[in-house]
């Protein structure tokens, strides 16, 4: 079976609503190049048509059976020859066939629906990974997950409703109205059509009112869910500050707002249901009165009376369902609109059309008059220039907020520079593909975050398809293999949420092993030991020193002792280079670096 390729380029660049959402979804039911999908859709529609024709014909068997019991011949001779018992059996058989064709239709279509869901979910997930760092640090992860979850459920509901409910409902209503018109007179048609029209108008107006209330409820649901996730992710911080009661109250406050919105939603639903029942009851009563009058004046048989009742039941049941369908479709459109708005968010950092892959010939990194700002009124980097020769190590030091970590983010192209350029072996990183750039840079961050999986999985994440032997070699190089081997489950040990089951030094060594397994020619160390104690730092620093060998390295450091052996050290202050040179040369200058060194030495002695 053809396996569809997930591509984020299928996502629209702008938000969509209403009919635009429907146009966005329906192509998944008729995709180019997937004929098996089209065959299944056609087969499902044929089965649907057969099921509805049998459904509309079923009350006729009921009428003929009743008339046969009354001694009245009201149908074709062949049918009436079956007698009341035979017609009753035929009635039951028709009902069974209706259910059979409906279930067969569902079985034929289910593959189409699930395929569509998988593709849309894959596109949304891929697109979220393509959005910029700026987008992710300003949005709430819990809220994004709920938008995606509800949006996918909305797509699933919409596909099922259009194929299995809304289309069949319209077809059944048309067939029933036509049958009543041809078998009786226009009065029946007018009453039924009027009932349907009144029901639809009332449902549309009431549902629009409910959608506004439901949207508010969703917003409160998102807020409460985000507060819960944020609090649980910061479990340790909550404990440190004895803030359990504060967090519970904060969550309860959000849930109180959700409760109010949910109550309003429930009340509005009750009002909608009562109004719908009133309209349907009035229509049903009117039609039955017309039929009763016909039986009394001899123009209709008792069989006609029960048949009209059967048809009205067939009409009212879908009409009741119509209210549910419309309400859910309207809500699904809201949820899907949020999902497609998310998929429509433009990525801040994009590859140029036809961009080539980065070619590493030596590994030289050069910053030329680089400027950058997160907001136009606050420039972070102010014309930073430096060169890291191939295979050499450059260290960046400076006070918090001087722009050190920003340089690392720009090199990895989480953001694009607002002035100047960054070159790797003479190639502007904006001119090459992000994939090749990311593949060329290994990063050891200050806080290594691990997946909630095994130690082996986390190390193996450094290289897709890595063998167990390669994973263990990387662990040995990072001096963490012996520790892993001492664990009861070895490399299958679960590390917990964000790696919380491991100590800081253990997590950092696992992170280093992961980066070593990647074996990238360029290395970025972003304060990789600043969160560790002195003894642990010394062990990790030895590992990092071996990792730097033969690689072009930029080391962003807080503790100056860890970068004293760097080939060049650059001191940043408020986004500008204020000093540069070797460790000894900078101490001899007795400037900013020397002050930082003396301060840290005094702190270590204390």
For residue 419, list its beta bridge partners: 371
Q: What is the mean pLDDT of residues 409-424?
A: 92
Mean pLDDT of 168-189: 83
Indicate whether 107 pLDDT > 70.
Answer: yes
pLDDT at residue 605, as a whole number: 66
Per-residue confidence (pLDDT) for residue 2, from 0 to 100: 44
Phi, psi of 442 (to 5 degrees): -100, 135
Q: How far apart are CA 323 and CA 198, in angstroms?
A: 12
Stated as kind and residue range, the H or E segment containing 579 is strand 576-581
Q: Which helix (H) or strand (E) holds 143?
A: helix 141-161
What CATH number was assigned to the domain covering residues 8-343? 1.20.1560.10
Based on the number of CB atoms within 10 Å of its own CB, is 354 exposed (0-12), middle (13-18) or buried (19 or more)? exposed
Q: DSSP 3-state assignment of 166?
A: helix
CB atoms within 10 A of CB 404: 23
pLDDT at 8: 35
Q: Inform me whether the pLDDT recorded for 471 exceeds 50.
A: yes
Mean local confidence (pLDDT), 330-349? 77
To the nearest whole number, what is the mean pLDDT of the chain?
A: 82
Burial (CB < 10 A; 0-12, 13-18, 19+), residue 53, is: middle
Alpha carbons 540 and 480: distance in angstroms, whole number: 10
The residue ranking higher by pLDDT, 523 or 332, is 523
Lowest mean pLDDT among 22-26, 298-302, 499-503: 22-26
If you average pLDDT over each of 184-188, 275-279, 369-373, which comes out highest?
369-373
Helix (H) or strand (E) holding 370: strand 365-375
Backbone angles phi, psi at 567, to 5 degrees: -65, -35
What integer is the mean pLDDT of 312-316?
A: 78
| pLDDT above 50 (res 11) | no
In this predicted structure, which of 58-67, 531-540, 558-567 has the lowest mean pLDDT? Answer: 531-540
Residues ≥6 apart with Cβ < 8 Å to 426: 364
Q: Are the CB atoms for 213 and 269 separated by under 8 Å?
A: no
- Structure confidence at residue 321 as a pLDDT band (50, 70, 90): low
pLDDT value of residue 132: 63
The pLDDT > 90 percentage for the chain reads 20
The confidence score (pLDDT) of residue 138 equals 57
Q: How far apart are CA 522 and CA 548, in angstroms?
A: 9
Q: What's the pLDDT score for residue 469?
A: 94
Non-local CB neighbours of 411 within 8 Å, separated by 6+ positions: 365, 422, 429, 441, 524, 554
The pLDDT tens digits of the residues spanning 43-100 come to 888 888 898 888 888 888 888 888 888 877 776 777 888 888 898 898 899 989 988 9
338 has a pLDDT exceeding 90: no
Domain 365-449+519-605, CATH 3.30.420.40 — does that match?
no
- Percent of the chain past pLDDT 70, that is, above it, reads 90
- Three-state DSSP at 565 gives coil
Between residues 149 and 259, the one the model is more confident about: 259
Q: What is the pTM of this model?
A: 0.64
The residue ranking higher by pLDDT, 335 or 267, is 267
Q: Whole-angstrom Cα distance, residue 294 to residue 134? A: 73
As beta bridge partners, residue 388 has: 365
Q: Is the dihedral of CA 381, 386, 388, 394 positive or negative?
A: negative
Mutual angle of helices 244-296 and 186-233, in 10-degree steps: 170
**What's the pLDDT score for residue 16?**
41
For the chain, give every domain's residue range.
8-343, 365-449+519-605
- Banded model confidence at residue 134, pLDDT cuts 50, 70, 90: low
């Amino acid at each position: 079976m053809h396996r569809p390729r997930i591509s984020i380029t299928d996502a629209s660049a702008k938000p969509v609503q209403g009919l635009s959402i429907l146009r966005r979804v329906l192509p998944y039911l008729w995709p180019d190049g997937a004929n098996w999908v089209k065959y299944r859709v056609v087969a499902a529609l044929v089965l649907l048509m057969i099921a509805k024709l049998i459904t509309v014909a079923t009350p006729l068997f009921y009428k003929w059976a009743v008339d046969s019991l009354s001694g009245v011949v009201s149908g074709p001779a062949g049918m009436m020859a079956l007698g009341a018992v035979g017609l009753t059996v035929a009635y039951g058989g028709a009902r069974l066939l209706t259910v059979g064709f409906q279930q067969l239709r569902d079985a034929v279509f289910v593959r189409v629906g699930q395929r569509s869901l998988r593709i849309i979910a894959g596109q949304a997930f891929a697109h979220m990974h393509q959005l910029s760092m700026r987008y992710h640090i300003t949005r709430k992860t819990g809220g994004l997950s709920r938008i995606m979850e509800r949006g996918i459920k909305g797509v699933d509901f919409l596909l099922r409703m259009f194929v299995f409910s809304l289309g069949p409902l319209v077809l059944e209503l048309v067939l029933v109205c036509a049958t009543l018109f041809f078998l009786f007179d226009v009065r029946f048609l007018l009453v039924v059509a009027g009932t349907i029209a009144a029901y639809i108008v009332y449902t549309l107006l009431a549902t629009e009112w409910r959608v506004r209330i439901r949207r508010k409820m969703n917003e409160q649901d998102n807020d409460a869910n985000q507060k819960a996730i944020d609090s649980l992710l910061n479990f340790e911080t909550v404990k440190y500050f004895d803030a359990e009661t504060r967090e519970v109250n904060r969550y309860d406050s959000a849930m109180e707002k959700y409760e109010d919105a949910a109550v309003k939603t429930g009340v509005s639903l009750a009002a909608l249901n009562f109004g719908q029942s009133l309209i349907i009851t009035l229509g049903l009563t009117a039609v039955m009165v017309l039929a009763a009058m016909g039986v009394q004046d001899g123009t209709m048989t008792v069989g006609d009376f029960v048949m009209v009742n059967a048809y009205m039941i067939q009409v009212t049941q879908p009409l009741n369902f119509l209210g549910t369908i419309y309400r859910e479709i309207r809500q699904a459109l809201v949820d899907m609109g949020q999902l497609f708005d998310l998929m429509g968010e433009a990525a801040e950092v994009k590859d140029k059309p036809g961009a080539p892959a980065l070619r590493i010939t030596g590994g030289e990194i050069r910053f030329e008059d680089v400027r950058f700002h997160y907001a136009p009124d606050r420039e972070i980097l102010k014309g930073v220039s430096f060169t890291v020769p191939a295979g050499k190590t450059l260290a960046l030091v400076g006070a918090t907020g001087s722009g050190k970590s920003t340089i690392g983010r720009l090199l990895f192209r989480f953001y694009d520079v607002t002035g100047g350029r960054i070159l790797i072996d003479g190639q502007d990183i904006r001119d090459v593909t992000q994939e090749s750039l990311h593949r060329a840079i290994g990063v050891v961050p200050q806080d290594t975050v691990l997946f909630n999986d095994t130690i082996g999985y986390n190390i193996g994440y450094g290289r897709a398809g890595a063998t167990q032997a390669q994973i263990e070699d990387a662990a040995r190089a990072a001096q963490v293999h012996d520790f892993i081997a001492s664990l009861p489950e070895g490399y299958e040990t679960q590390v917990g949420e964000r790696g919380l089951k491991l100590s800081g030094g253990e997590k950092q060594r696992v992170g280093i092993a992961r980066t070593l397994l990647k074996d990238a020619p360029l290395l970025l160390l972003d304060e990789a030991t600043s969160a560790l104690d002195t003894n642990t730092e010394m062990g990790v620093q030895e590992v990092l020193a071996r990792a730097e060998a033969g690689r072009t390295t930029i080391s962003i450091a807080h503790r100056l002792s860890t970068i004293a052996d760097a080939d060049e050290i650059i001191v940043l202050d408020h986004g500008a280079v204020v000093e540069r040179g070797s460790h000894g040369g900078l101490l001899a200058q007795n400037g900013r670096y020397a002050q930082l060194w003396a301060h840290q030495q005094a702190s270590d002695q204390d």
